[in-house]
Amino acid sequence: MVIIWNLSRTSKRIISLFIDTLFICLAFYFSFWVRLGKFEWLMNVESIYTLVGTIVLTLVFFIRLGLYRAVLRYLTFHALFVIFIGSLLSALALALLSYYLQSFLPRTVPIIYFAFLAILCGGSRLMVRALVFQGDKKGRESVLIYGAGGAGRQLALSLKSSEEYRVVAFVDTDTTLIGMIIQGLSVHHTDNIASLITKSDAKKIFIAVPSASRARRKEIIDSLVHLHMEVLSVPSMEDIVSGKASIDQLGDVPIDDLLGRDPVAAQQVLLEANIKNKVVLVTGAGGSIGSELCRQIIKGDPSAIILFERSEFALYKIENELTQLAAEANKTIRIVPLLGSVQHYNRLTMVMTTFNVNTVYHAAAYKHVPLVEFNVAEGIQNNVFGTYFTAKAAIESKVESFVLISTDKAVRPTNVMGTTKRLAELGLQALAEQEHEKVNGTRFCMVRFGNVLGSSGSVIPLFKKQILKGGPLTVTHPDITRFFMTIPEAAQLVIQAGAMGKGGDVFILDMGDSVKIIDLAKNLIRLSGLDVKCEDNPLGDIEIKFTGLRPGEKLYEELLIGGDVGKTAHERIMTAQEFYLPLNEYVDILEKLDDACKHFDHELIRKILLSTPTGFEPSDGIGDLAWNEKLASSKQKVDKCFDEVAKLAIQNDIKK
């Protein structure tokens, strides 16, 4: 059998022709035998000529109809239809040949012949296909499909030709489908999934409900987590419809499905208010948030978008991407890539004035908590002075609207990064008070939210890499929680919040419920088909290790300093009324900070930060690496001096 499978296509077609010739002969003789009960009428010359002519014409019909081009492994209804038509034509040819050759032929024989030929040619091919299919099953992995709807059926059809997977059944919650057979597969209720897995030895579950809401998909995932099966998902309906993905492009369960948070439809008026036909500048345009802001801004049809970025590679990437997006959408938007630092006031002012910027989205910031702890002065220069200089340049250039991307770490900060972001907020609030007095002053506002999924500092990509390596997964603390939001949703809400700003507004994005990081880690392990290794399960696959809180890290994040929260025109955007400083007091703080940073006096920096109304309560001592190295070096020198003095004293005593 294996030898036949390995033959060339031409050899297989010759064998098919030979077998079909045999089937025609069998159908011819047995149709007479069924009708007459004997074969003696078939021994004359006319009958033999009729049979030979029928064989030749039938094979010609089959060839012309394309029967021998069909691959048995992928036999479809079309091939069976071809056999039906070919058999019908063959029966007609038999009747005509017997008439012209004056061969004896009872009237019912062509009908019987047609039935025999169709059964023999069609049935043999179906039998071969079944044998091939059964043989292929041995090397394929058994899987279940969750969802027996249109997407599930399409996925099952696609996987029939897969050499990797074998679908054993559907599972669904729709009671009208339970017990039905779809594409040869039975539909089972989700309540019976555990026993079904045991019986079928299924290794994976494919979720095929692309049109379901995220909340519904989260319910499905939660119901599967305890099974310790690898769970894969078809792309979202949006990606399938847009052509970005096909139904059989299976991937890991999206993390936003684990959160179960459905995005709220954006309000087009708010999306376009500060963008449409305007010149928009984005600082930190190559970063996680900055780049997504740029993608959303392109959709809003600005007249130009200015990409301001200090990283050459990041700027190159986002410029190329936006140029391609604009071309695909047939949009003529001017894209201006500019290298520069937000710490350079003159560069900022020149850029904003030259390009007549209308709207600024300030996303440039150092946001990695431990790194800012280790590089305090640079963090202050970039996050505090960079924001202030950008805001001052916006005022100088008569920019209409300025939106600061802030963070939940600015609320009662325990680290330098959060403190710098709160100081940046205070600066904008102070400038906003000044701009209120002008007729067309710059409108400043800030948008505060938590972690975004997939950002450069996100824990999710780290967990996935650690799972691929076999673990362990590193979690700082068993009780640590965080707010999460997808980058596209955050960017859209930032744009909409900025459009509602009147001046000095602090907008808070509704992040939903906070997520326990340890639960997220466990779910990711289980959805990969693995077990968590712990004391209760020492034979598990992947261990979770607790590394301890990093410098400046908090267990819980908050979004509000006070309790005064107001609603806005958007259900996911809130506004907060918070304390702020007069501009002269804020400038005084900046002058002291600037002097301390220039002299790298970290003790003075810490003292100034503690004196500001940011609520800074450090959880650790000064973490600046260069400062600590300098202190250690100085201590070593002092200790060395003391050692030398002690040695001299001992030597003098000996001499005496």
Instruction: Give the DSSP letter of residue 128.
Output: H
As a whole number of angstroms, the distance between CA 178 and CA 176 comes to 6
As a whole number of angstroms, the distance between CA 403 and CA 363 comes to 9
The token duo for 517 is 């990081």
Task: Report strand pairing: 505-509 vs 443-448.
Answer: parallel
As a whole number of angstroms, the distance between CA 282 and CA 314 comes to 13
As a whole number of angstroms, the distance between CA 120 and CA 138 comes to 28
Residue type, 312: E
Secondary structure class of 450 (helix, strand, coil): coil
Q: What is the 3-state secondary structure (H, E, C) of 297-364?
A: HHHCCCCEEEEEECCHHHHHHHHHHHHHHHHHCCCCCEEEEEECCCCCHHHHHHHHHHCCCCEEEECC
Secondary structure class of 559 (helix, strand, coil): coil
As a whole number of angstroms, the distance between CA 561 and CA 113 comes to 89
The verdict on whether 38 is a catalytic residue reads no
- Taken as a whole, the chain contains a residue count of 656
As a whole number of angstroms, the distance between CA 299 and CA 280 comes to 13
The token duo for 475 is 């979690």
Q: Give the DSSP H or E segment for 181.
A: strand 181-182
Q: List the catalytic residue out of 409, 421, 522, 554.
A: 409
Whether the ω angle into residue 472 lies within 30 degrees of 0, i.e. cis, is yes
CB contact set of 33 (below 8 Å; sequence gap of 6+)? 39
Q: What separation in angstroms does the CA of 447 have from each of 290, 402, 456, 597?
A: 13, 11, 19, 27
b/e 130-144 (16+ beta carbons within 10 angstroms → b): eebeeeeeeeeebbb
Instruction: Give the DSSP letter of residue 472.
Output: P
CB contact set of 386 (below 8 Å; sequence gap of 6+)? 341, 342, 343, 364, 365
Q: What separation in angstroms does the CA of 629 have from each of 380, 478, 503, 622, 623?
A: 20, 32, 44, 12, 10
Secondary structure class of 575 (helix, strand, coil): strand
What are the two backbone dihedrals, phi and then psi, of residue 630, each rounded to the nearest 5 degrees?
-65, -45
CB contact set of 302 (below 8 Å; sequence gap of 6+)? 275, 276, 277, 278, 279, 280, 333
8 A C-beta contact, residue 559 and residue 449: yes
What are the two backbone dihedrals, phi and then psi, of residue 263, each rounded to the nearest 5 degrees?
-70, 145
Question: Which residues carry out catalysis?
Answer: 409
